[in-house]
Chain A
């Protein structure tokens, strides 16, 4: 059970749009805030496309989608989030940006509104420190793509009240998600383990231990993982990996989080992965070569 009725999402990028889908699909009135109408329209279009596929696959009826879309709105006026019981921020992964957004939200939202951050690398306690409501602040890290992945890493900051954490936890379950509790630790669980694992795989390529396709095959066959690390890096994009790994390294100084030099060379060469047609593999359309 949850007392939360209205959900705000700050940021309408990939994560924000996905989180809004999760909340609206679970029956919550959902308001998405972004500074530009272009971003909101793009998110709306992506959301409509997602639900059209849900109808095609028989997961939802047209009437259900109509009801969901009616409960989902976008705004460029942050004051429109004033009636929300919880606001989940999914803005750029930069502490100053998050502090600025949270300070604005604190100004317009009711005292009871819980703030949640979808950060994957920053400290919940540090973001909360600029929110004006450290006791009502919680980490809620959704996995990409949020609209498909059930897992949410939930972290209390040092000053998060038990009541806030419990309310956010119940809300997460009410959305049909599966929360796991983790400490406010850089990278939480997923990125804490995944980023160095990916760096280690890149170091194997750098050292000439094996070719990317051999490493991926070994990991998939030997460990049963659904994707090899280098395939996954190509999917995520090496530029994105660099951002996450550098943020993690800056907060942990653990050597395995340091980005191998090969990453920067590949980025300089425009070899970002699938999105540029070349990463550890070469791509033509959706087909993969070199695997």
Chain B
């Protein structure tokens, strides 16, 4: 499937060269807009309604911010997407594709096809704060940081237990310290403000890391 790429700069999903970017053509029925100014490009995109699909890169915001919503019947050929990445780590091969209640199946199929053709894997989710992974994993990260403070076990024993007991590739403390506790703070704090659930409130260690980074 042929797709056109509009790169507005500083994409968090595609910070460097990737087959997905290389496969793009100068024009196409499917349009992919990446980068931090993707929303602005969506507003000025010509013949938007006639496209098979328009994929817009999301930050932490919901797709509805860009498309508008009404009566729970929103949905069109516009989809949101983001490659999952933790803090300063490289993006993973997971692409969370965001749909709305009436998103067209043609648009969904097109999105899946072009991402998978570039070796990425797609998980489709509704338009919810945190999508799948952040919504699921941030409370676990906060709990791990809190329990470390409370002396449940040493950081090494916490990590070892979760690696050996559950087969996780890396324990939460090591993972967060490697990828940046301040990044975790930013994501979980945004979710806390959106959802109001204390489980997302940034753990003390993440707040400390954020404060230190902000004052440097």
Binding site for B on A (CB under 8 A): 143, 149-151, 153, 178, 180-183, 185, 189-190, 192-194, 196-197, 200-201, 204, 207-211, 214-215, 217-219, 221-227, 229, 255-256
State whether A214 touches B132 (Cβ < 8 A). yes
| Interface flag for B94 (CB, 8 Å) | yes
State whether A190 touches B161 (Cβ < 8 A). yes
Closest to A194 in B: B166
State whether B132 touches A178 (Cβ < 8 A). no
State whether B161 touches A182 (Cβ < 8 A). yes
State whether A221 touches B125 (Cβ < 8 A). no
State whether B164 touches A151 (Cβ < 8 A). yes
| Interface flag for B70 (CB, 8 Å) | no
Within 8 A of A (CB), among B111-160: 121, 123-126, 128, 131-133, 135-137, 139-140, 143-144, 147, 151-154, 157-158, 160
What is the CA–CA distance of A189 and B139 in the complex, to the nearest angstrom?
15
What are the 9 A-B residue pairs with the smallest beta carbon separation, nearest first? A218-B123, A222-B94, A210-B125, A151-B164, A226-B167, A221-B94, A222-B84, A224-B169, A180-B157
What is the CA–CA distance of A143 and B166 in the complex, to the nearest angstrom?
9
Partner of A181, one of B128, B139, B153: B153
State whether A256 touches B199 (Cβ < 8 A). yes
State whether A221 touches B93 (Cβ < 8 A). yes
What is the CA–CA distance of A104 and B118 in the complex, to the nearest angstrom?
64
State whether B152 touches A209 (Cβ < 8 A). no
State whether A196 touches B84 (Cβ < 8 A). no
Contacts A153-B161, A208-B126, A214-B123 given; indicate if A189 touches B152 (C-beta within 8 A): yes
- Residues of chain B within 8 A (CB-CB) of A197 are 136, 140
| Interface flag for B182 (CB, 8 Å) | no
State whether A189 touches B133 (Cβ < 8 A). no
| Interface flag for B57 (CB, 8 Å) | no
Tell me the minimal C-beta distance from B132 to chain A in angstroms: 4
State whether A225 touches B168 (Cβ < 8 A). yes
Closest to B169 in A: A224
- Residues of chain B within 8 A (CB-CB) of A226 are 166-167
What is the CA–CA distance of A225 and B167 in the complex, to the nearest angstrom?
7
Q: Can you offer 6 A-B residue contacts whose CB atoms are under 8 A?
A: A151-B160, A181-B153, A183-B152, A197-B136, A221-B92, A227-B167
- Residues of chain B within 8 A (CB-CB) of A194 are 166
State whether A225 touches B166 (Cβ < 8 A). yes
